[in-house]
């Protein structure tokens, strides 16, 4: 019988951490959405899942327009395949707008303010990619105030309405682009079709997982997802744990059997990795009593983590001297296998030196 501990190890295979394979664009497309408010950490998270382990490959995929960074769900930045962003935002715009409405009223962001900001944005980005500072300066020059978080909220509104997204790198920063110019082959799906595809891709890339985790992840409503459950589950595999159905890719059991030993090996993961952030219930990977070690004071900042046998056992930080092993801070005592592996894992950790 499958246990929650086994689920944690199976997810390493689903999420392409064991074994890592594919290009950066293929990984992002497979993962569907990869949390990315910490941009350097997100690029490392993707690189860890590729065959090359190259952060440069992730940057190249952004520069080529294969992947983009935006706010498709939960009001949080994610990396997504460029062609998928539009239909995701079609699903989530209304809910994200409702959640932010009261704050927009507080900030005095009226329809007229938004329209003015959009026009300035289209004029600026119509000439090519521009950095955040350039966008803010253009708004200020046009009389669109950006103080008191008005600027970030306007950026979020423009992104959620599919006017802009974050695309290529300019020097050491990511630039904004007009979505309609940058995303050359957008996919458009009917609402029901989009929900079914999003759910199936989530369970394939994040499974085994229950329906409640998908609902938490996307913030879609159970009332519009549950009627589609038969369509969602049709091509998937599933298993039962304590009376709850966990969905997964149908090939996962065989893949897990092939790579089961490898899922026991230590791993270094960046902050905000999907192995934690991809689920509302994180118990398959992290004991409830250890959450404060990873998110001190529940302040929203997730430390980089060390995994062993599919469980998070420590946090880590980079060494003071480049080239040295990372420093691990265990929750109890550091397993000897982890201690022995740290120099090797540190040497193989993708590095993001561009930011």
Residues paired with 184 in a beta bridge: none
Q: From the CB of residue 156, how many other CB atoms can be counted at a distance below 10 Å?
A: 19
Q: Tell me: the pLDDT tens digits for 113-153?
A: 999 999 999 999 999 999 999 999 999 999 999 999 999 99
Contacts of 200 (CB under 8 A, 6+ apart): 232, 235, 236
Q: What's residue 171's pLDDT?
A: 87
Residue 294 counted as domain residue: yes
Q: What is the CATH number of the domain that holds 234?
A: 1.10.10.10
Tell me the average pLDDT across 60-75.
98
Residue 251 counted as domain residue: yes
Yes or no: say if 161 and 61 are a contact pair by the CB < 8 Å rule: no
CA 94 – CA 155 distance, rounded (Å):
16
Same domain, 131 and 239: no
CA 111 – CA 97 distance, rounded (Å):
13
Strand order in the sheet with 305-308: 267-269, 305-308, 311-317, 327-330
- Looking at the chain, the whole-number percentage of residues with pLDDT higher than 70 is 99
What pTM was computed for the model? 0.95
Please give the tally of structural domains in the chain: 3
Q: Tell me: the pLDDT tens digits for 162-220?
A: 999 999 999 889 999 999 999 999 999 999 999 999 999 999 999 999 999 999 999 99
Alpha-helix runs per DSSP H in 108-210? 111-125, 132-141, 150-160, 179-182, 191-206
Same domain, 157 and 244: no
Q: How far is CA 36 from CA 43, 79, 177, in A?
A: 8, 6, 17
Tell me the average pLDDT across 66-81.
98
Same domain, 77 and 178: yes
Residue 54 counted as domain residue: no
| b/e 31-47 (16+ beta carbons within 10 angstroms → b) | bbbbbbbbbbbbbbbbb
Q: Single out the residue of 28, 51, 57 nearest to residue 354, CA to CA.
A: 57
Residue 152 counted as domain residue: yes
Residue 10 counted as domain residue: yes
Q: How far is CA 148 from the centre of its chain?
A: 27
The values of phi and psi at residue 77, to 5°, are: -65, 135
Residue 69 has pLDDT above 80, yes or no: yes
Domain hosting 215: range is 4-15+190-258
Yes or no: say if 315 and 286 are a contact pair by the CB < 8 Å rule: no
Among residues 152, 182, 212, the one where a domain terminates is 182
Same domain, 144 and 105: yes
Residue 205 counted as domain residue: yes
CA 37 – CA 79 distance, rounded (Å):
9
Yes or no: say if 175 and 129 are a contact pair by the CB < 8 Å rule: yes
Q: What is the CATH number of the domain that holds 107?
A: 1.10.10
Q: What's residue 355's pLDDT?
A: 41
Same domain, 102 and 174: yes
Residue 353 has pLDDT above 60, yes or no: no
């Amino acid at each position: 019988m499958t246990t929650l501990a086994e689920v944690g190890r199976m997810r390493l295979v689903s999420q392409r951490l064991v074994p890592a394979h594919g290009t950066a664009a293929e990984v992002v497309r497979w993962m569907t959405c990869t949390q990315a408010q910490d941009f350097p950490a997100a690029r490392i998270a993707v690189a860890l899942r590729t065959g090359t382990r190259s952060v440069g490959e992730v940057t190249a995929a952004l520069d080529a327009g294969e992947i983009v960074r935006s706010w498709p769900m939960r009001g949080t930045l994610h990396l997504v395949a460029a062609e998928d962003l539009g239909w995701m935002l079609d699903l989530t715009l209304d809910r994200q707008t409702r959640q932010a409405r009261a704050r927009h009223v507080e900030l005095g962001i009226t329809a007229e303010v938004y329209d003015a900001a959009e026009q300035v944005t289209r004029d600026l980005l119509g000439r090519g990619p521009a950095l955040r500072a350039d966008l803010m300066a253009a708004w200020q020059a046009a009389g669109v105030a950006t103080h008191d978080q008005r600027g970030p909220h306007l950026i979020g509104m423009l992104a959620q309405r599919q006017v802009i997204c974050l695309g290529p790198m300019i020097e050491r920063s990511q630039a904004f682009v007009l979505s309609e110019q940058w995303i050359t082959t957008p996919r458009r799906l009917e609402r029901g079709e989009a929900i079914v595809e999003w759910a199936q891709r989530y369970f394939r890339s994040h499974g085994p997982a229950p329906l409640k985790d998908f609902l938490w992840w996307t913030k879609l409503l159970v009332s519009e997802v549950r009627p589609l459950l038969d369509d969602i589950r049709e091509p998937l595999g599933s298993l039962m744990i304590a009376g709850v159905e966990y969905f997964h890719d149908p090939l996962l059991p065989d893949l897990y059997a092939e790579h089961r030993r490898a899922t026991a090996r230590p791993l270094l993961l960046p902050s905000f990795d999907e192995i934690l952030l991809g689920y509302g219930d994180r118990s398959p990977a992290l004991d409830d009593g250890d959450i404060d070690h990873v998110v001190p004071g529940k302040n929203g900042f997730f430390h980089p983590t060390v995994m062993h046998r599919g469980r998070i056992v420590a946090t880590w930080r980079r060494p003071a001297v480049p080239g040295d092993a990372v420093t691990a801070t265990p929750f109890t005592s550091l397993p000897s296998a982890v201690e022995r592996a740290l120099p090797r894992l540190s040497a193989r950790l993708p590095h993001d030196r561009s930011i």
